[in-house]
Structure 1
């Protein structure tokens, strides 16, 4: 079989192309004998040839750049690191330039320990094992040596906390120890929306996979709070829960401290402040003893408009300030904050001795006389003894 030379190949190629052009142009009535037709055919053939050469060049350039260079040349000539995240003193997670896959690297030994790693996350409590992802699976590495401690066999995995880690395998939520042994297998399932699993003071929050309601399990996997709460979190060692808009508090030993019947609870600086649904508030110490029996957030003096007018004003001042005379009411207005962004503030009356005249049951109070006050939302008028007079 005779070999075809390079010149013969292109002669046949362009000959075939020329015959194709003649056939197409023949459909429009051009004849070889017509000089004008011959010129048009040659111009057309030249343009098509140039376009084909350009197209072929673009294809070859794209192939060389995306396949040949990226796959065969760049990995051997470009080994730069884009960003490093320390896993321990000398073990780092490196994100590489021009690569979707990254690596775990030993800076002391200048040695790659684990290739093609997507990400690595270290526990908040600096556990010895860090979770990593590779090839769509999750596993754990020893962050001090960089060696794989538990291979990537899990669909999803979370950081170790208090010696245990949550993993998902075959659709089940399990908890394992540092050896990879399953220590909690209670038919739990992962809640699809923003799942987070970590032990805190001996307990871990679990969500109902159907409705997302929250509960707590202990280290044996037993329920200590059933998954029935809308919100649940650890607050300075206490467990705060919310259900149907009401808030309660459990101690670190899961003893009920305040039932789920309050509008808000704040824990800070050795003080627990409870906002009740009757708009009052009290402060307690961490043992549940009352520290402040009646919390008031702010106190205001109130002015009322008298029937007298000022006569010492310049004419120009009256454009900006009225000439009415105001008096100071007998009672002060105090405010108790609602506690949360969707709860309104409420107001009550104090006498000059600091004693409460009315509870904080009004949305606003306005002095309309020395001893009379218009209180909303009902629009009642109260005197300085707290009695409704109209």
Structure 2
């Protein structure tokens, strides 16, 4: 265990720590009130779900063979150096617990990565984040498994792509921007594949850890202070799931700005964008709590999967099989992928030091210039 983990308040002024501890007592009282409200109204809210016909048990679905699974996650980091930025984005795919009848062929590589040096720009992270999620989608669309788990919501790629495309004209001089725009068509096609899930032997599931959506809460009239996942974690019994519900739509219609991609074939990309927007309107959501030690899992999927009894049975069986370890609070392949990519930002300073040494070996001037120019000040990252 590191010293910082053993002494979490070691670098903080004692007066500040004392005030934080005093305020924590008040926070505890507020949280206690919320827990008490859920406890006292649990039976009432459960009965409401039953009357609305929204509760089901996984034992009621037909038994299917254990499906093959994998999880895909990504990470990015920007190391701010004195003279430039070192940027990296990566996506990894990890196979889940292998069923006894495993037979699929999964060619390597099972990762994608982008590393580059860029001029200082405030919006570098915006482009890099979109590139990261695009790399994830490409990996996910090529995975040969029956169930492919994705970290985050199915709406997140659209948001990230839009932000990057809107900023791309202002930072077109970045090599990362050019690379993203060149690959955007392939990434959007992969996104459409994931959203549609038209293949009967394959489906893609988004499993967001954090969500504020209230598709069920709005229908049931639950307090606005509780999101669906938080509340259903206390309402659902182990083995229960909610019937598919339509994804909560935004106040304004979904939109994807494809204008910056005009030079790469606007008609085809515009058609793909329209199909993506249409597919987002068809996304379905269920909440499933396979075991007592797990919170309710939010599962976002295509209507083609959610409304097909056999495919939904495959989803539930696959999720249950991959969540059998009490120490893991999400499907196992997603947990592994997340653990891997979280180490990327931590590794960036090491890559920088290796680069500095290589340059210093051949640099004709004062090597102090190298170490000064490549000195890292802070790393911005996201997973």
User: Do both share a fold (TM > 0.5)?
Assistant: no
Higher relative CO (Cα under 8 Å, sequence separation at least 6) belongs to 2
Normalising by structure 1, we get a TM-score of 0.18
Structure whose residues are more often strand by fraction: 1
Q: For the pair shown, which has the larger CA radius of gyration, 1 or 2?
A: 1
